[in-house]
Structure 1
Amino acid sequence: MRFKKSLNNNIALAEDAEGCEVIVIGTGVGFKKVKGQPIEQSQIQKTFRIGSNDKYQRVEQFLSDIPLQVIDITDQIIEEGKGIIEKQLNDSILLTLADHIHFALDRFKKGVDVQNPLHWDIRHLYPAEYRAGELAVKRINEAFVVTLPSGEASSIALHFVNSQYDSGGMNQTIRITQMINDILGIMTDHFGRDLNQESTDFSRFITHLRYFIVRQMNREVLSFKDQQFLYDVLSERYPVSFQCALKIKEAMEQQRGFAITPDEMVYLMIHIERVTSRTDAG
């Protein structure tokens, strides 16, 4: 890693071994260095890169647009968010989230209030990420002496969700969230009651649905041994969950163009049965 430009004592623009621009963060990493000087690995605590789906093509373009104070608070928000979510995040979150915060502050100054139509869904589907979003809004309000609308918590939460997966950027994460909500709506209608969204089984089911949807969108085929045998056994053992899975299959194939195999149906049945039969699981 070679030094290119100091942003402050603890943040610098650098170049990695492949010649790509990166932002490096670490105590003293930007202090009294000259261009081209190697940066000791022991000084680097975090590295952030431009992702293939990011709107900025070069780090220097990002740095020229986003104030350093926004970058500083974004780094703090990411660190606190990691402690809440307890999951690995993609390096590019610094750039995408800082960009979002920058424009959220700009909208506030102009008196523009943009409502997030998925606010309620995000709050319930991604509770840990939403808590990280709430804390982020608090930190932003304190740092910039503003009062961002509460809906910003759900928008920031989506950045934490998107950063956990190699999905297709924020637009795809929004589409996936909408589809998950559609599937839960089918289940609520089928069973005639709300699901226990506080249970561990529900959290696992949401994770399964996300990967299930991504596989469908990428045309990836899930396959395992004895799937037809398991499909036959489970459809007889869990007839109500089987009928619910059939409704999901029909809706997703008609509305989204999915092609849901018996292998996927096996996993759907198992998760549906768990999340609806153990309503008090925690």
Structure 2
Amino acid sequence: MIISQILNNNVAIVKKGSNSQTRGNEIIVYSKGVAFKHKAGDTIAETEIQKTYVLDSHDKLEHFSYLLSNTTDEYLQIVTKTIEYGEKVIKKDVSDYLYLALLDHIDFAIKRLEKDQIVKSPLDWEVRKFYPDHYKIGLYAVGLIEEATGKACPNEEAVSIALHFINLQAKGSEDDSMMRMMEAVRNILSIIKYHFRLDFEEESINYIRLVTHLQYFIVRMFKNEVFASNETELNRQIRKLYPDAYSCVNKIRVYVRDTFGKDLSEDEEAYLMLHIQRVAKREEEK
């Protein structure tokens, strides 16, 4: 392999073939002290290489090259250790593209940490509940970040890191559906939040019941299962008792219809109003 560019002390771009004009045969390699042992144009033996990164496009290779040129070996080790741990947890090999995505994320996360900027993930509750193994990977990465920076890193960052592993696995229909369901729950919660102009108490029993109901509702919708017992009179009474909750449910109805092409049954509507009213009433009483 011929070194075409040294990126930092330990990382270089090499050409696998003898044709130096071919861009498609470039890969990135990690070799401890490569900058001190070699220079551009030198040949490097495969036995000297500790890690190889193969990306499927030149744009990704250039992006990764830029990141590696402007990062430290310590940050790269955080990424490498996180991915090695993640592969053991999910029992699956990941693509080299995850090194690029995770290095980009962690580099930015550490910069935010230095400025005391915390970004809360809107999928925090859902990731912890539905993807505990992936969340464990995120917590492991947070521990590495804290060790490297000497600063406390919020667990919200673990959710964001976990999402990289979830998204990587979301190529199968089951994982893709779960991501869509999580997104739907989040969007419906946002509709409720902004309709009533409230902040949820996420540890409250009423909030947990609402989220659980939404999750089952979304699952039924994805499976084309309609919950209906034709309790029209009950629905009518709840509308009269809780007109603001009914107004909110109408907004949810529009979202569901526009996004999924489905409508709410009277029973789904009634139970949604009850759950929403409980949460809104408790928040308003504070």
Common fold, TM-score beyond 0.5?
yes
How far did residue 101 of structure 1 move?
0.9
- Other-structure match for 2:85: 80
Report if the CA contact (8 A) 1:88-1:164 is conserved.
no
- Other-structure match for 1:90: 95
Q: Structure 1: where are the runs of 5+ without partners?
A: 168-172, 192-240, 260-282
Q: Structure 2: where are the runs of 5+ without partners?
A: 186-211, 227-252, 263-286
1:129-144 correspondence runs (5 A): 129-144=134-149
1:193-204 correspondence runs (5 A): none
Give distance in 1, aligned partners of 2:222 and 2:74.
50
1:28-177 correspondence runs (5 A): 32-50=37-55, 57-164=62-169, 177=179
SS in 2 for 1:93: helix
Q: 2:13 is matched by which residue type in structure 1? A: L
- Other-structure match for 2:223: 245
Report if the CA contact (8 A) 1:22-1:59 is conserved.
no
How far did residue 148 of structure 1 move?
1.0
Give distance in 2, aligned partners of 1:127 and 1:106.
27
- Other-structure match for 1:188: 216
Report if the CA contact (8 A) 1:22-1:50 is conserved.
yes
Give distance in 1, aligned partners of 2:113 and 2:44.
38
Give distance in 2, aligned partners of 1:92 and 1:247.
38
How far did residue 186 of structure 1 move?
5.5
Indicate which of 176, 179, 182 corresponds to 2:181. Answer: 179
SS in 2 for 1:246: coil
Report if the CA contact (8 A) 2:7-2:68 is conserved.
no
How far did residue 165 of structure 1 move?
5.2
Give distance in 2, aligned partners of 1:164 and 1:174.
8
Give distance in 2, aligned partners of 1:185 and 1:22.
49
Report if the CA contact (8 A) 1:13-1:24 is conserved.
yes
Which is further off, 39-48 or 72-81? 39-48
How far did residue 70 of structure 1 move?
1.3
The structure where helix makes up a greater share of residues is: 2
Distance 1:31 1:129, change over 3 A: farther
How far did residue 159 of structure 1 move?
1.3
How far did residue 150 of structure 1 move?
0.6
SS in 2 for 1:153: helix
Give distance in 2, aligned partners of 1:97 and 1:146.
19
CA RMSD of aligned residues (A): 4.0
Q: 2:259 is matched by which residue type in structure 1? A: R
Q: Quote the sequence identity (%).
A: 32
Q: 2:9 is matched by which residue type in structure 1? A: N
Give distance in 1, aligned partners of 2:180 and 2:144.
28
Q: 1:143 is matched by which residue type in structure 2? A: A
Give distance in 2, aligned partners of 1:86 and 1:7.
32
Give distance in 2, aligned partners of 1:29 and 1:125.
43
- Other-structure match for 2:14: 14
Q: Deviations over 1:148-194 (max 9, x none)?
A: 11111111111122334559xxxxx9996243464885662499xxx
Report if the CA contact (8 A) 2:170-2:176 is conserved.
no
Indicate which of 16, 23, 30 corresponds to 1:25. Answer: 30
1:237-276 correspondence runs (5 A): 245-247=223-225, 254-256=257-259
- Other-structure match for 2:6: 5
Report if the CA contact (8 A) 1:133-1:157 is conserved.
yes
How far did residue 94 of structure 1 move?
1.3
Distance 1:68 1:27, change over 3 A: closer
How far did residue 99 of structure 1 move?
1.2
SS in 2 for 1:23: strand
Report if the CA contact (8 A) 1:90-1:164 is conserved.
no
- Other-structure match for 2:275: none
Query: Number of paired residues?
Result: 202
How far did residue 28 of structure 1 move?
6.5
* TM-score, structure 1 as length reference: 0.57
How far did residue 130 of structure 1 move?
1.0
Q: 1:8 is matched by which residue type in structure 2? A: N
